[in-house]
Every structure is written in C-alpha cells, then in structure tokens.
Amino acid sequence: MIGRLAWKNIWFKPLNTILSIILLTASVAIISLLILLQEQFEKQFSSNIDGVDVVLGAQGSPLQLILSSVYQVDAPTGNISYSEAKTWMKHPFVKSAIPLAFGDNYRGFKIVGTTPAYLDKFGATVSQGKIFQSDFEVVIGAEIAKKLNIKVGDKFFGSHGDAAEGEIHEEFAYKVSGIASPTGKVIDNLILCNIPSVWAMHENHEHADENPEHGEEGHIHFEGDEHEHHNHEAATSVSEEGKEITAVLIKFRNKMGFVTWPRLIAQNTKMQAASPAIEINRLFSLFGIGLQALQYLAYGIMLISGISIFIALYTTLKERKYEFALLRVGGASRLQLLSLVMFESILLCFVGFIFGTIVGRIALFLISSSTDEEYKMTFDPFAFVWKKEGILFIVTIFVGVLAAAIPAIKAYRLNISKTLANA
C-alpha cells in the first residue's frame, strides 16, 4: 500500500523526479566506475609483477622500463648488451633471470623473444601444441588466439616495430607451435619465441636495408639469396656475439639483492635496475590522486541530488498536506505518514543507484574496448566489488533518508483539524 502510493507520489511532479534521478545516476555511475577501475587496475598491475624483484635494462626512466618490460604498454628505454647482462644474470644473489628481446609485432600484438621460463613466471602452460623449440616457432597468447582465430600450425609474417602498420618482414615466416592457456595477465596478449629468432629477423632486416634489390645497381649476391627469398621457412644460426636484448626480469634469492643491486648496477654498468614494486606504488599514488578528485566530485553531485530531493519533498508538502489529513481521517497513523515521505525519498535513491550502477558498467565496457585496442588491457564490467559498492549503496540510501528527514517530521506533526478547517 505505502509502496504503491509512494511510487505514484514521486511522479506527481515528473520533472523534479527526473532531475533527482539524473543527478543520483551521474554520481553513482562515476563512483561505481572509479571503484571498478581502481580495483581491477591495481589487481592486474599487482598480479603481473609477481616473481619480479627488479628489471635490468637500459638507463632512462625507471617507470618506463617497468611499463615496457613487465606490462608491455610503453616503448623500451633502449637495448643492453646480452653478454654483459648474462654476467649479472649469473650473480650469486640471482635466483632466476628471464631475458626479453622486443622489436616486432603481428597486427599490433608484440612478438617477444624470451625463454620458456617466461610462461612459468605467469603461471601459463601450453594448452595446445608445444613450446617453441626452433627459431621462428612461436607460442600465441590465449587472447590473441581467440581474437585472431589462430591455430597451431598457422604461419604469419611479423611487422617491424610496435605499430601494426610497420614494414612487414617477409624473409621468414613465424610458425605457431603452441597456444598458451589463459591467465588474465599480460602474457595473454603476447606472441613468444626464442631470442635468436628476434636477432635473426633484425639481422636480416639490416642486411636487406644495406643491400639493394636483385637487378639494382650495387646489389651484392649472397649465397642462398634465392633460397631465402622463396622459402620463408628458412632459418639461420645467429651468434650471440655483439647481440643486444631489451631487458631482464630478475628474482633474488634473498633481500640483499634489493639493497645492493641498484647501487652496484649504477656504479659498474651503463644499465639500471628498477624495482617494479617501487615504481608501481608511485604510479598508484599518482593515479590515486586523480581518482580521489573524481570521487569528491561524484559525492558533491550526490549531495546536490540530496538537496534536490529535499527541496522537491519540502515544496510539495504544502500542496499535499490536505491529502495527508484525509489519510489520517481514513485511519492512517502518524508513523505511516512519516514512513510514506521517507519511503518516497529512499525509492528515488534506490532507482538512482540501480541506474547509476548500470551506467557505470556501460562506461567501463566502453573504456575496456578502448584500452584493449590501445594497451591490450581489459576490464570486466560484470565484476562486483561487494564491500565498496555495498558502502556506496548505504551512502546513497542515507542521502535519501537525510533529504526526507525534515519533510517526514513535518508530515508526522501535521495538525488534522487545523488543516481541514483551513481547507
């Protein structure tokens, strides 16, 4: 009875009701979106640095080194000597070291030269086929296999650099030897091969740049040119001498590595040892300032919404006091009148919360589509952060209760005889 009457009453002035719902929807949508973004963003970033104590790479921005080597979302700071890196990879403090070599992509997905230990680091297995063993054999991340419909045995040509529009390497074809299991981590959007494949591809690329085409003036004919040109499955043996890699993911045996390595690397090499934990905490702190500012804005909008509901209830109270008096004559108690006004406000807030939650998730879906295309990072719009969103629900309902408090008390104290006499 009260619920049905309250629903009819809140649409007595539809413009006021729509304005209140829009303001509530906007504030709840912003806060809900920020909660989901922050929770999933931090979870993804934290899960990807598991098992990595420092990243060894070229000098430059430590954060850039971490983002490019661990999360694959930035350009590398440069290359480092593989022979020098191997010396530090065998340091007594080092428990495990995973080298990485970048340079190519396939349709925007990075091709990473590494070792099978890289899959173990992310807890991934080869769900179909086998691990890469020979040059130009690759293991495809689960998301790539799904998006591009790639199967074991397929072949493709990589493009130079990070951009999908880069120059295509048509000298050698990569062959899919396996598909990795889904992990929900960065490896799902990577193509993995051994490091000599990356070296061979770029050595051949440089060789081709320096040598004019067949039939052109100055072309130098190398033994096997025709074979390489016509047989894209050809492989080559590449010496490690003078070669470079992009970075090394290091895990230490004990805490002494954390204390001594950054200083040792800085003093004895032209490399740097950056800590993912430190850099990501710094990123979270910067990210958190922006989120906090937006949350304050959203709560401000919610406060304005509460004021809007209060004004709507208070101004209509004068027009509805005869209705309340008749309800009292008809047998309604003072408590029922108070409950009616309070329920109207709470109902408005509940509707605003539901709409806001839906709009927030639609916004997250759109953001996820954009980040997936640009950074290969996705967010789940159907996830729930029960604790934080539960608090948001309580705050939203509390705003409704607060907005209805004065009008509800006035309805409770209504003088029936005086009201009907004036009527």
Q: Can you say whether residue 308 is alpha, beta or left, with left for phi > 0 and alpha for psi between -120 and 50 degrees?
A: alpha
Strands (E) in 265-311, as ranges, are: 271-274
Judge whether 362 lies within some domain.
yes
Asked whether residue 115 falls in the same domain as residue 250, the answer is yes
Find tokens 């890469």 and name the residue. 132
Query: Could you report the per-residue pLDDT of 390-409, keeping only the tens digit for each?
Result: 999 999 999 999 998 988 88
Report d(CA 56, CA 69) in Å as an integer: 9
In a domain, 282, yes or no: no
SS3 content of the chain, % helix, strand, coil (to 5): 55, 15, 30
Does residue 39 lie within any of the structural domains?
yes
Radius of gyration of the chain (CA): 32
Percent of the chain residues past pLDDT 90, beyond the cut: 50
344/269 same-domain check: no
Say whether both 121 and 261 belong to one domain. Answer: yes
Mean residue pLDDT across the chain: 84
230 found inside a domain: no
| Cβ count within 10 A of residue 332 | 18
The end-to-end CA distance of the chain, in Å, is 26
Residues 407 and 357 in one domain: yes
pLDDT at 240 over 80: no
Does pTM top 0.85 for this prediction? no
* pLDDT for the residue numbered 256: 87
**188 found inside a domain:** yes
Q: pLDDT value at position 322?
A: 67
pLDDT category of residue 242 using cuts at 50, 70 and 90: confident
Task: Count the helices and strands in the chain (H runs, E runs).
Answer: 13, 13
The pLDDT of residue 335 is above 80: yes
**Domains contained in the chain, number:** 2
**In this model, does residue 296 exceed pLDDT 50?**
yes
CA within 13 Å, CB half, 152: 11
Structure tokens at 271: 């490399």
Residue 279, in any domain of the structure: no
> Both 255 and 364 in a single domain?
no
Q: What pLDDT does residue 215 have?
A: 44
> What per-residue confidence (pLDDT) applies to 225?
43
Residues 255 and 371 placed together within one structural domain of the fold: no
Better pLDDT: 167 or 307: 307
- The pLDDT of 304-322, averaged and rounded, is 81
pLDDT at 27: 93
* Residues in Cβ contact with 107 at an 8 Å cutoff, skipping those fewer than 6 apart: 148, 159, 164
Rounded Cα distance, 76 and 57, in Å: 9
Shared domain for 264 and 297, answered yes or no, is no
Higher-pLDDT residue of 211 and 110 is 110
For the chain, what's the residue count?
423
Cβ(179)–Cβ(152) below 8 Å: yes
Tell me if 390 sits within 8 A of 297, measured CB to CB: no
Task: For residue range 132-147, list pLDDT tens digits in order.
Answer: 999 999 999 999 999 9
The pLDDT score that the predictor gives to residue 224 is: 38
Q: Which of 2-16, 36-50, 303-317 has the lowest mean pLDDT?
A: 2-16
- Which residues of 16-61 form beta strands (DSSP E)? 54-58
Q: Are residues 247 and 293 in the same domain?
A: no
Residues 138 and 165 in one domain: yes
Domain that residue 193 falls in: 54-202+240-274
Average pLDDT over residues 239-267: 89
Q: Is 229 helix (H, G, I), strand (E, B) or coil?
A: helix
pLDDT at 59 over 50: yes
Higher pLDDT, 421 or 235: 421
The mean pLDDT value for 407-421 works out to 75
In a domain, 226, yes or no: no
Q: Please answer whether residues 94 and 178 qualify as being in contact, where contact means their C-beta atoms are separated by less than 8 angstroms.
A: no
* 328 and 389 inside one domain: yes
Asked if residue 383 has pLDDT above 80, the reply is yes
- Residues 359 and 251 grouped into a single domain: no
Averaged over 76-84, what is the pLDDT? 93
Residues 32 and 140 in one domain: no
**Least confident span in 70-74, 85-89, 177-181, 350-354:** 70-74
% of the chain with per-residue pLDDT over 70: 87
- Range with the poorest average pLDDT among 90-99, 205-214, 295-304, 369-378: 205-214
**Quick one: pLDDT at residue 136?**
93
List of residues 6+ apart from 369 with CB closer than 8 A: none
Distance CA 423, CA 416 (A): 11
User: Of 248, 274, 300, which closes a domain?
Assistant: 274
* Better pLDDT: 421 or 243: 243
Last residue of some domain: 274, 296, 331?
274
Domain stop point among 249, 274, 299: 274
Instruction: Please report, to the nearest 10 degrees, the dihedral formed by the alpha carbons of residues 38, 39, 40, 44 taken in order.
Output: 100
Of the pLDDT bands very low, low, confident and very high (cuts 50, 70, 90), residue 370 is confident
**How would residue 213 be classed by pLDDT, with cut points 50, 70 and 90?**
very low
Check residues 182 and 14 and name the one with the higher pLDDT.
Answer: 182
Q: What is the pLDDT of residue 410?
A: 82
Place 214 in a pLDDT band, splitting at 50, 70 and 90.
very low
* Confidence (pLDDT) at 6: 66
Task: Select from 420, 386, 392, 423 the least CA-distant residue to 298.
Answer: 392
Regarding beta strands 174-180 and 137-140, do their DSSP bridges make them parallel or antiparallel, or are they unpaired?
A: parallel
Q: In this structure, is residue 214 part of a structural domain?
A: no
